[in-house]
Amino acid sequence: NFILTQPHSVSGSPGETVTISCTRSSGSIASTYVHWYQQRPGNAPTTVIYADDQRPSGVPVRFSGSVGSSSNSAFLSISGLETGDEADYYCQSYDTTGRVFGGGTKLTVL
């Protein structure tokens, strides 16, 4: 199995761009898809990015995903920050032993 490591918290001001990283401990980040979820307090998570860089319908184009093989990391970028983006964000991937979530990153919009 492997671990996905995320920063505990990130912050930004309205209108700014923030990027959240998700680093895979072993095995290539590019070998399996990475997905990103947003979770607001009291609610179930929802997908904001799936399959590395795909946006589900209804998710603003301000949300984008990428994968960097050199850093063995995936990245979620949110541009034009809005107060409504304040939430916890989780990355998720998998291997033959199962599904794995990152520890989560709390995004604060200042």
Partner 1 sequence: QVQLQESGPGLVKPSQTLSLTCVVSAGSIDSDNNYWSWIRQLPGKGLEWIGSIQYSGTTHYNPSLKSRVSMSVDTSKNRFSLRVSSVTAADTATYYCARDNSFVNFDFWGHGTLVTVPS
Contact range with partner 1 by CB under 8 A, out of 15-23, 34-42, 61-69, 78-86: 34-42
Tell me: does residue 104 bind partner 1 (CB under 8 A).
yes
Identified binder of partner 1 from the candidate list 2, 10, 47, 62, rule CB under 8 A: 47
Give yes or no for residue 37 binding partner 1 (CB under 8 A): yes
Place of tokens 């609610």: 43
User: Is-contact 77 17, C-beta < 8 A?
Assistant: yes
Q: 23, 43 in Cβ contact below 8 A?
A: no
Q: How many CA atoms lie within 13 A of 46 on its CB side?
A: 12
40 counts as binding partner 1 under rule CB under 8 A: no
Confirm or reject binding of residue 73 to partner 1 (CB under 8 A).
no
Q: What is the DSSP string of 65-105?
A: EEEETTTTEEEEEE-S--GGG-EEEEEEEEETTEEEE---E
By CB under 8 A, name the one of 2, 50, 66, 86 that touches partner 1.
50
* Contact predicate 45/37, CB 8 Å: yes
| Residue 97 in the binding site for partner 1 (CB under 8 A) | yes
Determine if 19 is a binding residue for partner 1 (CB under 8 A).
no
Residues of this chain that interact with partner 1 (CB under 8 A) are: 1, 32-33, 35, 37, 39, 44-47, 50-51, 56, 90, 92-94, 97-104
